[in-house]
Amino acid sequence: MTRFEIKPLAGALGAEILGIDLARDLDDTTTAALRRAFLDHLVIFFRDQALAPAAFLAFASRFGEVVEYPFVAGIEGFPLITPVVKLEHEKINFGGVWHSDTAYLETPPMGSMLLAREVPEAGGDTLFANMYLAYETLSPGLRAVLDPLKAVNSSAKANVTRTREDRIRSDPTGRSNQIFEAEHPVVRTHPETGRKALYVNAGHTVRFAGMSEAESAPLLEYLFRHQTQPEFTCRFRWRVGSLAFWDNRAAQHNPINDYHGQRRAMHRVTLAGERPR
């Protein structure tokens, strides 16, 4: 087994993994230990990883099936690696709103990995939030209301479509203009840990199933504010070669758009998940 150190980043979630080279072949014992850290901390971070695209995919494949992102074409020669880029002249960043990745799909991803290729001199950090805590800190009465509900999630929600417009223009796919919509439980049970997590997000959730948007809005807005309060979060500052691997089933993230006039280029891979229950 490859020995490594786990250094928690914040009280709510997040840990840096120190002393490991992801470009090397990882044995099953090491992979299992990393997965345990991933489940315990919801997002794990690695520094100074010199991963070529093929090595990046090989590492990701140790944890699940890598799948395509529907809206933006992959990088040349590697369709499963999505470029997450903000150019110097652009004002809106890709995914720049609190969200759980592609919750509008019938089977949203288990997790995502993001690898930093170019970063601004300052800014461009990413926030992550713990959805276990978001659920567990609600009152018993509100949990009882939410437990049986489902929510409608859509790829056409205005805030999130705006954050991907530049990349769709530059790197479209055959499905870039398609609208995806799915109903999922408002509270999902994690298939590996058995814990309950709040599963609505400001980027994709438009209403509760069986209710109008107007009827749903007051409670959804409360939940959106509640689930991203500072004590549920951690903040990660990127360097070239940094890699983040987060659990899409129990965490949300938000890349901060505070580096206008500078370039930020990342590579992302997405791991197949299961239908939320």
**CA 137/CA 157 separation, integer angstroms:** 27
Q: Is residue 276 part of a domain?
A: no
**149 assigned to some structural domain:** yes
Asked if residue 129 is part of any domain, the answer here is yes
CATH of the domain at 215: 3.60.130.10
The active-site residue out of 99, 188, 190, 264 is 99
Judge whether 155 lies within some domain: yes
**Structural domains of the chain, count:** 1
Active site residue 99: yes
**Active site (annotated) includes residue 204:** no
pLDDT, average across residues 218-232: 98
**Residue 126: inside a domain, yes or no?**
yes
Per-residue pLDDT for 230 more than 80?
Answer: yes
Structure tokens given for 186: 């408002």
- Find the catalytic residue in 167, 204, 253, 264: 253
Distance CA 110, CA 180 (A): 18
The model's pTM is 0.93
Distance CA 45, CA 128 (A): 12
Burial state string for 10-35 with b = 16 or more CB within 10 A and e = fewer than 16: bebbbbbbeebebeeebeeebeebbb
Domain span at residue 239?
5-271
For the cut 60, the answer to whether the pLDDT of residue 101 exceeds it is: yes
Percent with pLDDT over 70 in the chain: 94
